[in-house]
Each structure stands twice: as C-alpha cells, then as structure tokens.
C-alpha cells in the first residue's frame, strides 16, 4: 500500500511529518511521500525540512518508508520546469504538479507546463485535454485519481481519457489532516466510483510498485 501525495505542516497540513507517517503506517501503508506545497518563496524550506526528516526517519525506524517529495503549486507556467529541476537536484524523489482542479482558480496551461517539466505525478488534473493525456503517456507521468473532496469531481473524466490513450494512473489521498487518511478499501472504492475495474486497479498498483523500486 502506498500514498504518494501527502501534506504536513511544512505547508498546509496540520500534522508534523512523523505523525503523518505513523498514522499511515497504522492503516497498513508501506510507503508514503510527503509532498508539501511549494513555490519560489518556500521551496528551500520545504526541501530542507523533508530531507532532514527522511534522513533521520530511516535511521530510527523501519515501520514505513517515507520518500521526500514536493508539490509545485499555483506557479506561473514557465516556473514549473526550473523548479522541478531544482527540486530533483536537491534529492527530492517524488515531484507532484498541482494540476487544473475544478475547485481552485488554477492558471490555464498549468497541466501542460507540469507535464513538460520533470514531474512524476500530475495531481487532480481536472478536465485534462486529450493532447495533455497523450503527453503524460509519452513521458510516463502518472495522472492522479484522488480521494480529496472537490478535486475528485473530475476523476471519471481523467479515468476515461487515460484508459482511451493508455496513460498511467495513480490512486492518491492528498491528505492534509488526520480525517483524510483513509484505509486502502476506501481508496479502492474511490477508484471503482471513477469507473475502474478490479483488474485495472491491480494494474495501477503494479505500475506504482515498479516506480517505487526506482525511487526507494
């Protein structure tokens, strides 16, 4: 079990990273990525905080693997590429792009800018275009199916387009507080409501497992 889109109080979450990790572990998760929101104003603070945490966490406990991540959020489109490159150079293993969700005023063209950068996951991409889905497939970037309220409104659209063009999907929680951290069964229910079959869900988990082998 994994969740590669989690927030802590390094940005707008309410828990310190260690409590995020322990709460996920208690529900049987084996790997998470803490991916706090960042732009030019706080990217060094977020990167330094999560790298310091993961370094010491791995020395002290093996209850759950925690990957250092970041979510590049509400950037002018031209900033995604340099900031993704910077985060990767500093040792960030999971880079999420904050996509064009239907419930926030995201700058038009953000999905494409994220996909053209060195990201791993395009989060809640809203009514993503066919052209952008094709680009996600070409670059091997995951399109997110999310359990987060509001962001999940476009799950069905994302699933339909991804399946049509063969893009990879990922199931994520996008947790910010304890109430968001849900069992695997609830996450799978979100996937089923978006139109995915059990076989397709199993395929998603295999793809993510392959990705994690490279990152862990």
pLDDT (tens digit per residue) in 131-142: 999 999 999 999
Q: Contact, 111 vs 126, CB < 8 A? A: yes
Question: What pLDDT, on a 0 to 100 scale, did the predictor assign at position 58?
Answer: 77
- At 148, list the tokens: 């987060």
- The residue among 74, 12, 30, 16 whose CA lies nearest residue 184 is 30
Q: Assign a CATH topology to domain 2-215.
A: TIM Barrel (3.20.20)
Instruction: State how far the Cα of 11 lies from the Cα of 61, in Å rounded to an integer.
Output: 24
Residues of the chain with pLDDT below 70 are 60
Q: 3-class DSSP state for residue 179? A: helix
Neighbouring-strand partners of residue 72: 38, 97
For the full predicted model, state whether its pTM sits above 0.85: yes
Residues 6+ apart with CB under 8 A from 68: 33, 34, 47, 50, 51, 53, 54, 91, 92, 93, 94
Q: Contact, 44 vs 69, CB < 8 A? A: no
The percent of residues in the chain predicted with pLDDT above 70, rounded, is: 99
Question: What pLDDT, on a 0 to 100 scale, did the predictor assign at position 60?
Answer: 67
Residues 6+ apart with CB under 8 A from 210: none
- The residue among 138, 6, 139 whose CA lies nearest residue 65 is 6
Residue 202 to residues 95, 135, 171, 209, Cα–Cα distance (Å): 23, 23, 11, 11
């Amino acid at each position: 079990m994994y969740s590669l889109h989690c927030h802590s109080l390094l940005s707008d979450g309410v828990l310190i990273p260690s409590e995020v990790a322990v709460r996920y572990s208690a529900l049987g998760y084996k790997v998470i990525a803490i991916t706090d929101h960042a732009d030019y104003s706080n990217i060094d603070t977020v990167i330094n905080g999560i790298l310091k945490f993961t370094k010491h966490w791995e020395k002290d406990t093996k209850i759950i693997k925690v990957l250092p991540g970041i979510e590049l959020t509400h950037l002018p489109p031209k900033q995604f590429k340099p900031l993704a490159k910077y985060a990767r150079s500093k040792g960030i293993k999971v880079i999420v792009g904050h996509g064009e969700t239907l419930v926030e005023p995201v700058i038009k063209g953000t999905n494409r800018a994220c996909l053209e950068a060195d990201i791993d996951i395009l989060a809640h991409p809203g009514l993503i275009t066919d052209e952008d889905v094709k680009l996600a497939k070409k670059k091997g970037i995951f399109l997110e199916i999310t359990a987060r309220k509001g962001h999940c409104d476009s799950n069905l659209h994302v699933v339909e387009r991804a399946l049509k063009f063969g893009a990879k999907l990922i199931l994520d929680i996008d947790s910010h507080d304890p109430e968001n951290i849900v069992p695997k069964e609830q996450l799978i229910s979100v996937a089923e409501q978006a139109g995915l079959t059990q076989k397709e869900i199993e395929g998603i988990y295999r793809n993510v497992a392959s990705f994690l082998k490279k990152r862990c």
